[in-house]
A and B are shown apart, each in its own frame.
Chain A
C-alpha cells in the first residue's frame, strides 16, 4: 500500500512532516479517515485530537485547535491556527486551565472553548504516553 506525505503546519511554524499510513481527523460532519489513494478533500477541522498512524505502526497524536486540512494525491496538509504535538503539551497547565474553565459560568462562550481546548490537550497528552517521539 502506498504512503501518505503528511505535513502539519500551524500559524507560527511547520510542526511536523513525514510519511504515514493513515490519518484520522474530525470534521464538523464527523470523523474522516484518510488512506493512500483518497480522493482530493478540503475539509474543516473541529477542536479535537488528530491521529496519525506512522509507517512502523506507532500512532502519533496532534492536538488541533480548529483549522482545515487538504488531501491531494497522497499529500495531506493539516493547517491549523494552533496545533500541538503530544510531547510539547504541558499537562499540568492544561489541567489548571480546565479547572479554571469549569469554574467559570456556563454561558461564558470563551470559557467553554477554553475547556474544550484543555480537554483536547489532555487527551492528546494522555494517550500519547509511551509513544516514541518524533
Chain B
C-alpha cells in the first residue's frame, strides 16, 4: 500500500473516533435538556406562590420603601454580580457570552460609580476571573450541569450576607444576576436581572379580567416580619431559577456545538474517503502501467 493511501486511511479512522465522541456528547446533552426543562417546570409553582406572597405582604407592610427588599441606598457604593457559566467547555459560546454580558454590566455599574463584586458560578467563569487576577466575592463550581437546591441556598446565603452587611463594612447595595435564559431548544439568550432591591410597582387590579385583589390576610407574626422571612427565600429562589435556566441552556448550547462538530466530522470523512479512493485508483493505475511496461520490455 502506498504511503499516501495509508495517511488518508489513518486520518479517516481518527476523525471517525472523534465523531463517535461528539455524537455521544450530543445525545447525552439532548437527554439532559429534557430533564433540566422538567426541573424548571417543577419549580414554577413555588415561584408563583412566593411572588404572590411577597406582593401581598408588601401591600400590607407599614412602610415598604424602607424595607431592605425595596429600599434603595442613597449612596450606592458596591454591587454584587452573580454570573452563571459552565463547568466544562465544548458548549460553543455559552460561557463566554455570559462573561461578556457580565463585563458589560460591570462597566455600566462602574460608570455609575459603583464597585463591582463578582460572584461566579462555573469553572469557566472562575478561570476567566482568576486569569485576570480579579477578586471574586464567591466562587462556586462542580454542579452547573445538574444544580441542586442546596447549591442555590449556599449561593443565596452568601449573597444575603453581603446584602445585609452595611456598605461601610464591605456589604453590597445591589444584587444582579447574569444568566442564560432558556427560550426553547433552539434559542437561548443571556439576560441580566436585578434581584435586589425590588422595584415597587403600584398596580391596580383589573377585576373585569378575572383579576383578584389579595385577600385580607392575617399576617403571622406581622407583615414586616413575613416580608423579612421571605427575603432569603426570594434570593434563593432567584438564584435557583438562574441556575436551572442556565443548566438547561448549557445543555442546549452543548448539544448544538456537538451537533455541528458531528456534522463537520461527517463532511471531513466524506472528503477524505474520496481522496483515499483517488489515491488507491492512482496506485492501481500505476501498477498496471508498470506491469504492462515490464511485459512490453520483455517481449521487445
Q: Could you list which residues of chain A lie within 8 angstroms of chain B, going by C-beta atoms? A: 7, 9-14, 27-29, 32, 39-44, 66-68, 70, 72-73, 77, 79, 81-82
Contact = CB atoms under 8 A, between A and B. Distances in A.
Contacts, number: 83
A9 B49 contact: yes
Contact of B226 (A14, A44, A82): A44
Contact of B149 (A11, A29, A40, A66): A11
Given A40-B217, A44-B225, 13 more contacts: A9-B46, A9-B49, A10-B149, A11-B149, A29-B220, A41-B219, A42-B218, A44-B221, A67-B233, A77-B49, A79-B46, A79-B49, A79-B50
B70 interface: no
B237 to A, nearest CB: 6
B217 A68 contact: no
A24 B152 CA distance: 29
| Chain B: number of interface residues, binned into ranges | 20 to 34
Given A42-B53, A44-B229, A13 B218 contact: no
Contact of A81 (B42, B57, B233): B233
Contacts of A67: 233
Given A12-B43, A28-B225, A43-B226, A70 B236 contact: no
Contacts of B53: 42, 68, 70, 79
Nearest to A110: B157
A10 B217 contact: no
A41 B43 contact: no
A85 B52 CA distance: 24
Given A9-B46, A14-B42, A27 B220 contact: yes
B45 interface: yes
Interface string B43-75: 101100110110011000000000000000000
Interface in B107-150: 149
A7 B232 CA distance: 22
Contacts of B153: 81
B297 to A, nearest CB: 84
Interface in B212-237: 215-221, 225-226, 229-230, 233, 236-237
21 contacts: A9-B45, A9-B46, A11-B149, A11-B152, A11-B237, A11-B240, A12-B43, A12-B149, A13-B39, A28-B220, A29-B221, A32-B220, A40-B215, A42-B53, A44-B229, A68-B229, A68-B230, A70-B49, A72-B217, A77-B49, A81-B236
